[in-house]
Amino acid sequence: MSKSEKSGFWSLLPVTFATALFCCVLWGSASPAIKIAYELFRIPPDDTASRITLAGARFLIAGVMTIVFGSFLARKVLMPRRESVKYIALLSLLQTVGQYFFFFMSLAYISGVRGSIVNASGNFLAIIIAALIFRYEKLTLRKVTGCVVGFSGIIMILGGVRALLDGGALTFRGEGAMLMAALFYAFSSCFIKKFSKHENPVILSGYQFLLGGVILFVIGLVMGGRLEFYSPSCAYNLIYMGFISAGAYTLWGVLLKHNPVSRVSIFGFMNPVMGVLLSALFLGENQEAFSISGLIALLLVALGIIIVNTGK
């Protein structure tokens, strides 16, 4: 297949949709996969060290996989340029160490459904930060409307404005940690956009996963964390969690390379949808997933993502 044929293949709408859907299924499965991992590795909520060790192991695997997948697609071994090391170091601290420290903490205390919806706030925070801090774009009426709609869904799943003001139904280790993870995601997204002008995004993702995984794994071990493989399912789960990031980021990068950004990013609304559906399927969280408030919250978040990624 020639280069032009390959570009044409990835820009076909059915291929774009199917690939984007597959990526969103992978990302959406992260919350249930992590909660299942806690059960398989028998990690209690208060064992922070082992959670960090698990996160480190996941991203070590994700980093290796991303580099291998990217090298296969590029038909050469992907190596970062010397000047890109500082970009990789900063991204690893934001996207892997910062984001997933809080992400793994949160899922020890809240449901997969709740976590999937709250985590979607990163989409709206990224737009606000890109406009107000990085000055990448302007806050148009459409984007502000999308953010308001999306955040209203997140407020609903958190129990409404009264619950936020009272503070009793929310905890820092649970909902607060997931919001912190979303904030780290938003900043890392802006930096990736900036650094991608100087380096291949797949190289940035793969090596920052690898470096961040090493940092988390070492920190976890120093704190006394450990991973005991009680059954083969532990290994299968860990490999799958690595593939979630490696497979999704690599394929999403391919789609962005061969399609307009707006055409690909519009499919991001499926991330929280898949997270909720897969949490209901694998974690048995049907009551929360299919409650009236849960469905309305999910609809508002998905609608908000669609609005902010829709053209004029």
At residue 79, the pLDDT reads 94
Q: How far apart are CA 230 and CA 147, in angstroms?
A: 44
Q: How far apart are CA 99 and CA 182, in angstroms?
A: 7
Give every residue of the chain whose pLDDT is below 50, as ranges.
none
Q: Residue 311 gets which letter from DSSP?
A: -
At residue 265, the pLDDT reads 81
Q: How far apart are CA 152 and CA 227, in angstroms?
A: 39
At residue 256, the pLDDT reads 81
At residue 172, the pLDDT reads 86
Q: How far apart are CA 135 and CA 138, in angstroms?
A: 7
Phi, psi of 28 (to 5 degrees): -65, -25
Are the beta carbons of 118 and 154 closer than 8 angstroms?
yes
Nearest to 169 by CA among 119, 125, 118, 120: 118
Over residues 148-206, the pLDDT tens digits come to: 999 999 988 887 766 666 655 678 889 999 999 999 999 998 898 888 888 888 899 99
At residue 199, the pLDDT reads 87
Q: How far apart are CA 136 and CA 293, in angstroms?
A: 35
At residue 165, the pLDDT reads 63
228's CB contacts (< 8 A; 6+ apart) are 41, 42, 234
